[in-house]
Chain A
């Protein structure tokens, strides 16, 4: 799978208050890549990630998925891409508080009515080391454990590319290190493409490639 940003501009707001978050971004990510996007906060790096994942649409320019413009795809097609081919990990985890860890991981599988989904959910949690916490609610898990559930959820549908926005941002350095290691092995052993947005230079150092973003421009 290959996702490209081709001359992408993104603006928020209208009229005099309009603010360009991204200006003329050109970027490419493919399965197997490990890209770190660094920059100070407010530089637009998260926006880049959202654009890559088709969570947001560009104001100008094109996002291409395997060479095809995302704008030409229907909502259904894009949803399927998000569901089956891309995995998301967010800084704030965004777990459903009223569901157990296992139910959270099952969620994307349910959407696609994937065969054998219950086992796959259990497996995914086992892979992130939480096989014994299937029935726990997010409120009963530590920050690191919650992020690991989020990772399991992102992996549940065997995505080709995982987009992670400050995955270690809410964790202490030890836990953060564990999560990072996990993500690295995903990339190395399973060939999953990885884009990590971070402001932490140490995290950035782990990536195979690195781009810097400042004031909406890739430098």
Chain B
């Protein structure tokens, strides 16, 4: 069974990489500077150099069976003040503000065991989940907590009734993450971290991850992101260098405002630098494998970059070296070929 699902995963990763094509990584991206770490012995990019633009334009959220609703960022406050700095908020916060204004009939609460806000009922029904993507991307059914998914201008958000099986698996996964965090005394320890390129794979077990506050413009101090996994490995002497590239915008995506991991190196491991290659990541667990939702993504998404994806305490984190050929024909989104 595993090998078949391994195939599906590869398929899924290829698809995620399709999103990046749409977003247009490459020589056409505007690099507002790369940081080669470690910098003066520190595994943190220089602070205060880059900041992401907080959402300012009106946006919309589509709720299946209810309609499309508009929201205005200045009027939205993050429920998770432990996560977000003022001015930034998540997908869930958009819904919460619509509910508060009475625009949508939604009941919600915070679930301690899952570490997130959950929708108890919306429009008299339960079992909702969401899909979201940034400008230039495509819907791919992420498994990221709704109250951790940062909102940017030009974003698309969709709420729909998820299949009970998949929702149960997602819920179970969130619960396991919280349990793992607790059993490690509040420290994030990832059982397995892999960094893969077509030629070699690095594996690290039981990696302790600490916060480096790379995106202190978006997140509060002490919030741990997926990027911190690599930075922590660097600090622990497991990596020799990392190359982070800040991109403001890309070919058909604006704003982007994220750090991309362009290179990961150890003494024996590196990949050839090339214009359209970067590391994409996947966060997941066994529970989530085997779901062929359209796109059966078991994992969080590539278009949510590592620096802004909050890390609770997953079973594994995988960084995958992906290179893309531009494959955009008019109106048709062809499956890109991942090449070495």
Complex: A in contact with B (CB within 8 Å) = no
- Chain A interface (Cβ < 8 Å from any Cβ of B): none
